[in-house]
Amino acid sequence: MTVRRGRAGRAGRAGGTVALAVTAAMTVTVTAGAFAAPALAAPPGHTDGPGEGHRATLRAMKAALNEDAPGVTVQAKDRHGPWNAAAGTGDLARHTPRGAHDHYRIGSITKTFVATVLLQLEAEGRLDLDDTVGKWLPGVVEGNGHDGDRITVRQILNHTSGIFDVTSDDEVQRKVFSEEFLEHRYDTWTAEQQIAIATSHKPDFAPGTAWKYSNTNYVVAGKLIERITGKPYAQEIKQRVIEPLGLHATSVPGTDPAMPKPGSRAYTKLSDAPDAKNHDVTELNPTVAGAAGGMISNSADLNRFYAALLRGGLLPAKQLAEMRTTVPKGDNRPGQRYGLGLEPFRTTCGTVVWGHGGDIHGSASGAGATADGRHALAVNFNGPGGEVQPVLDAEFCGKG
């Protein structure tokens, strides 16, 4: 899930906090080799072996740390193989370092998985991207100007539907993105409930006339998968993507609030007050994000996923081309574009990385790969204040 208001949902690439110097207490961990290699503690700034080619990335990781992003974990994978690294603090109470093989909540990176399943269904002839939502979910997206019979599946996936973003609702903001969240962190949010909240508001615009990021779109997308297949969207993601690719660290946790090991603690300030406390929000009911952002993974799995996707390992050429067909994000984001659960990120040296960002309580992530899938990067901060873009630029441009 990515949200645009509230400290808890502030995108990692938006920053807005003062960077702090990396102290000796912030241990840097670097490993190179197999995905399952154990994390090896190393002095700050130390690299060896294949890590020599990632010095700029390591510098950018360390520079991105701040009080709202105490730790960072990364995997880069290129022709030399995988390089795993971590910097900063994983547990503020115990003063333990961030792990190079941590599991973490991936937020809106979930959207690429959901879009992939719907495009697989299109390839199988079970739906068309230009089908209306009303055809499959009659009466579900209705009310206050919302009309599912005028919204297509394509518009759901590329955020041109105009459906109101459920995370912008005042009650949701209060329960999810303020101190009140601590009383509601284990609440279950159903897709029906979230869609009903969204459609209690007027749509942002007529379908197809503009672009605006809305988590409700992917809550609807999850319902579409369930209606078409007769199975939960989580089961379809597992059977169609997770199991075929061997993504052993990736899951759709449903209502389970726990995080698998290895992993670090996740932190968020739920207030903009100057003396706001950094809360440990590691445990939460993932249905607060659902199909829009509830998944868990690690950096190695995300790199494997995006590399396979962009190489054509998950979709036929026609559907992959559809996924990479983009629309502009609008006048307030000149040059930025969005596809079907996939977006191009342009680095400072011109290299384009296809992937997605993801933000949820205590977690800011980014993952993607070059169009040929040969160079991939996944990064996660255990707080909302980490800057993903400088790490991306450092890895693909050698600048840090």
Q: What is the pLDDT of residue 26?
A: 33
Q: What are phi and psi of 322, to 5 degrees?
A: -60, -45
pLDDT for res 334: 85
Mean pLDDT, the chain cut into blocks of 10 residues (400 residues total): 44 29 34 30 35 86 96 96 96 97 98 99 98 98 98 98 98 97 98 98 98 98 98 98 98 98 97 92 98 98 98 98 96 90 96 98 98 98 94 88
Q: What is the pLDDT of residue 171?
A: 97
Is the backbone of residue 333 left (phi > 0), alpha (psi -120 to 50) or beta?
A: beta
- Chain centroid offset of residue 215 CA: 12
Q: What is the pLDDT of residues 296-316, one digit of tens each?
A: 999 999 999 999 999 999 999
**90 φ/ψ angles, rounded to the nearest 5 degrees:** -95, -25
pLDDT for 399 equals 63
Q: Which of 165, 166, 141, 167 is nearest to 153 (CA)?
A: 141
CATH number 3.40.710.10 is the correct assignment for the domain at 1-400: yes
The answer to whether the Cα torsion of 194, 198, 204, 205 is positive or negative is positive
User: Alpha-carbon dihedral of residues 329, 332, 333, 335, nearest 10 degrees?
Assistant: 90
Which pLDDT does position 19 carry in this prediction? Answer: 27
Contact between 230 and 326 under an 8 Å Cβ cutoff? The reply is no
Instruction: Quote the pLDDT of residue 71.
Output: 97
| C-beta of residue 38 within 8 angstroms of C-beta of residue 30 | no
pLDDT of residue 51: 56
CB 299 within 8 A of CB 305: no
Catalytic entry in 108, 168, 251, 365: 108
Query: Whole-model pTM?
Result: 0.90
Task: Kindly give the pairing relationship between strand 71-78 and strand 81-91.
Answer: antiparallel
* Residue 28: closest CA among 39, 20, 17: 39
Q: Respond yes or no: is residue 108 known to be catalytic.
A: yes
d(Cα 264, Cα 102) in Å, to the nearest integer? 7
DSSP track, 119-170: HHHHHTTS--TTSBHHHHSTTTSEETTEEGGG-BHHHHHTT-S-PPPGGGSH
pLDDT tens by residue, 205-260:
999 999 999 999 999 999 999 999 999 999 999 999 999 999 999 999 999 999 99
Q: CA geometry: angle at 354 spanning 130 and 340, to 5°?
A: 15
From the number of C-beta atoms within 10 Å of its C-beta (0-12, 13-18, 19+), residue 332 rates as exposed
Residues β-bridged to residue 31: 84
